[in-house]
Amino acid sequence: VPRKVFSFDPPERFVAGTVGQPGERTFFLQARTGTRVISVALEKAQVAALAERLEELLEQVQRRGGAAAAEPTTIEGAEDTGPLDQPILEEFRVGTMALAWDSVDERVIVEAQAQTEAEAEATEPLSDAETGPDVLRVRIPAAAVWAFVRRAQRLVAAGRPPCPVCGLPLDPSGHVCPRQNGHLT
């Protein structure tokens, strides 16, 4: 089966966002250009890891003299706090993610591959292989990456408030606190 490659070069908007109530949020990566909207589902921890790795990548590029990777002092669209675009249809659930810096075009390439049952089936990242897991691939300039990173960090931090006793996230339906011998608080 030929793989589906959802390519945006660049997308008009590339964000992480959530659907649902605090504590029951579903996380998505979403790329949009015009009315073409592609959403892929992933875990909160994957959003956090992606933001961290993007930040590391851009810092690495800057250390090698790539001034284009610097975080702008003001980013157009950086305060994109809007919800995900509709429709939010899950194309696939994300397994492997890969990043690369294209030093010619000064773009970051972000690739999110669909989860496969056997990890061995995952394709070499950024390959032109015609078979393999479906993939969302975006190429974006550093300023858009920084905007993505800052939004993703806010999103991950904006989870459930911490329990004042144990620091674990509180659940809207109650919290079994390990520091209070499992009493529901």
**Which residues lie near Zn ion (CB under 5 A)?**
163, 165-166, 177
Q: Nearest CA to 19 among 53, 45, 42, 48?
A: 42
Nearer to Zn ion, 129 or 165 (CB): 165
Taking the complex as a whole, the smallest distance from the CB of residue 22 to Zn ion amounts, in Å, to 16
The SS3 assignment for 42 reads strand
Taking the complex as a whole, the smallest distance from the CB of residue 146 to Zn ion amounts, in Å, to 35
Q: Strands (DSSP E) along the chain, which ranges?
A: 5-8, 13-19, 26-33, 36-42, 90-102, 107-114, 135-140, 176-177, 183-184
Which tokens go with 156? 């991950």
Nearer to Zn ion, 35 or 181 (CB): 181
Concatenated DSSP letters for 11-25? Answer: -SEEEEEEESSTTS-
Nearer to Zn ion, 2 or 182 (CB): 182
Taking the complex as a whole, the smallest distance from the CB of residue 41 to Zn ion amounts, in Å, to 28
Taking the complex as a whole, the smallest distance from the CB of residue 182 to Zn ion amounts, in Å, to 10
Nearer to Zn ion, 70 or 166 (CB): 166
